[in-house]
Amino acid sequence: MHKTESATLTLAKNLMSRRSVTPEDAGCQEVMITRLEALGFEIERLRFADVDNFWARRGTSAPLYALAGHTDVVPTGPEGHWKYPPFEPVVDNGMLYGRGAADMKGSLAAMITAVERFVTQHPDHKGSIAFLITSDEEGPSINGTVKVVEHLEARGEKIHGCLVGEPSSLQVVGDVIKNGRRGSLGGTLTVHGVQGHVAYPHLAENPIHAVAPVLAELSAASWDNGNEFFPATSFQISNITGGTGATNVIPGEVEVVFNFRYSTETTHEKLQQRVEEILHRHNVKYTLNFTLSGYPFLTPHGTLVNAACVAVKAIQGIDTELSTAGGTSDGRFIAPTGAQVVELGPVNATIHKVNECVAVEDLENLSLMYERILEELLVD
């Protein structure tokens, strides 16, 4: 006799069966909206360019706590390399396989079922609950959460705290909560020289030779020492392109692409200034363009962090670790409004990989943790 599937698993499989490769939503949001409308949420569908988003709110009073996430997923890669078709979710030996299992349709399902149980138990809860959902997290992230936040800010609607369902965990769900993220500053440096024959270097200027000591200094530099929550700022070169492919030609220019992941101990302005100072000191002819992908943010111990820690302890029996490691998330668009932001989601070991999967038991426990967080925040 087969055990009846849980509401969380059924919903996760429904969402995962939809081919919502960024920026496509493929009907995922309407599935969620239908469930939320039944609970009394007011829905705003917010489409910006080719991106579907929605804002759903239940209640009109403060405090306002939002659950945030994304319905879009990354491409699958070669589907033939998957154990099971990536958009035909399968449970095998306690693991749910399919694209989006961990990042982050499993979290979305857990959020919905947690709120369904919570509202049933506490129909007159204090404050307000909201959902902020986008299909532009895995893509350029220009017509998703950032636009919804701008829309809310324009009318003075303030989020007090936000729980993001990004896969934060390492070994078992809840062992790590992200209470901040590093900032991300990218740079494209083009060093200009004069192309020529390698046999006549006095008639050319080799930009690779010119930039080499600059890169050595940048790579060896200490930018800050980090702090209690952040590791030291990291500088990494990701691409170097130069030359014609011939062995006897000095190139006319070289392009270097690099990135800073930086802590709250510095700013993007200070990093840019210091890079420019090093370039000037080495007397390099260059063009430099910076791209700021996200500011660093940090939510210290307080109402939301404490509620999340209590929930993990109650459901999993473990003391969670607070971390700011990893890449960027949409939390970077919400935190600057003054909201407390934490990320709590599944184990991230298989995200963006072939055979992405999540433990079914982890999804059930995640839903219970989300419910407990709401109880801590919105029940006297």
pLDDT tens, 263-305?
Answer: 989 999 999 999 999 999 999 999 999 999 888 989 989 999 9
What gap in Å lies between CA 133 and CA 344, rounded to an integer?
16
* Banded pLDDT at 320 (limits 50, 70, 90): very high
What value does the mean pLDDT take over residues 6-25? 97
CB burial of residue 238 (10 Å; 0-12, 13-18, 19+)? exposed
Q: How many CB atoms lie within 10 A of CB 83?
A: 12
Please identify which of the residues 24, 52, 72, 364 carries the catalytic annotation.
Answer: 72
Q: Which two tokens stand for residue 349?
A: 């070991």
Residue 326: predicted pLDDT: 80
pLDDT tens, 114-157?
Answer: 999 999 999 999 999 999 999 999 988 999 999 999 999 999 99
- 137 is a catalytic site residue: yes
pLDDT tens, 330-362?
Answer: 998 999 899 999 999 999 999 999 999 999 999
Residue 3: predicted pLDDT: 64
What gap in Å lies between CA 283 and CA 201, rounded to an integer?
18
Residue 298: predicted pLDDT: 92
Please identify which of the residues 52, 103, 137, 330 carries the catalytic annotation.
Answer: 137
What gap in Å lies between CA 252 and CA 378, rounded to an integer?
63
1: pLDDT strictly greater than 70: no
- 72 is a catalytic site residue: yes
Higher pLDDT, 294 or 207: 207
Judge contact between 339 and 159, C-beta under 8 A.
Answer: yes
pLDDT tens, 149-206?
Answer: 999 999 999 999 999 999 999 999 999 999 999 999 999 999 999 999 999 999 999 9
